[in-house]
Amino acid sequence: MKKHTEVLAVAGNTWRFSALEILGAAEYKAGNLEAARTRFSEIVNDAAAPSDISGRAQIYLELITSALGKDEKGTE
């Protein structure tokens, strides 16, 4: 699944943000929190991301920060 979804997660693709969300959720579920953080941060930091997807990505980032005890910048 990852291989097929990553093809959609490129700039300019209509499905980019949905694909990034799916990839991030899969990484999160697999326990790969740093990889999930990267995917969700990409969504949140892009002004073109739809607000509903960005909002869910922000929730995931907060869960990851809580689990790891630090944010993406490494601060507690």
State which residues form the domain around 19: 2-68
What mean pLDDT comes out for the span 4-27? 95
Q: How many helices (H) and strands (E) does the chain have?
A: 4, 0
Which of 24, 27, 55 has the alpha carbon at shortest distance from 16?
24
User: What local confidence, expressed as pLDDT, does residue 74 receive?
Assistant: 59
Give a yes or no: residue 73 inside a domain.
Answer: no
Q: Which helix (H) or strand (E) holds 54?
A: helix 51-68
Position 19 pLDDT exceeds 70:
yes
pLDDT tens for 31-73 read 999 999 999 999 999 999 999 999 999 999 999 999 998 666 6
Residues 67 and 69: their CA atoms lie apart, in Å, by 6
Give a yes or no: residue 32 inside a domain.
Answer: yes
User: What local confidence, expressed as pLDDT, does residue 2 receive?
Assistant: 82
Give a yes or no: residue 9 inside a domain.
Answer: yes
User: What local confidence, expressed as pLDDT, does residue 76 receive?
Assistant: 57
Give a yes or no: residue 76 inside a domain.
Answer: no
| 46: helix, strand or coil | coil
Quote the pTM value.
0.87
Give a yes or no: residue 11 inside a domain.
Answer: yes
Number of compact structural domains in the chain: 1
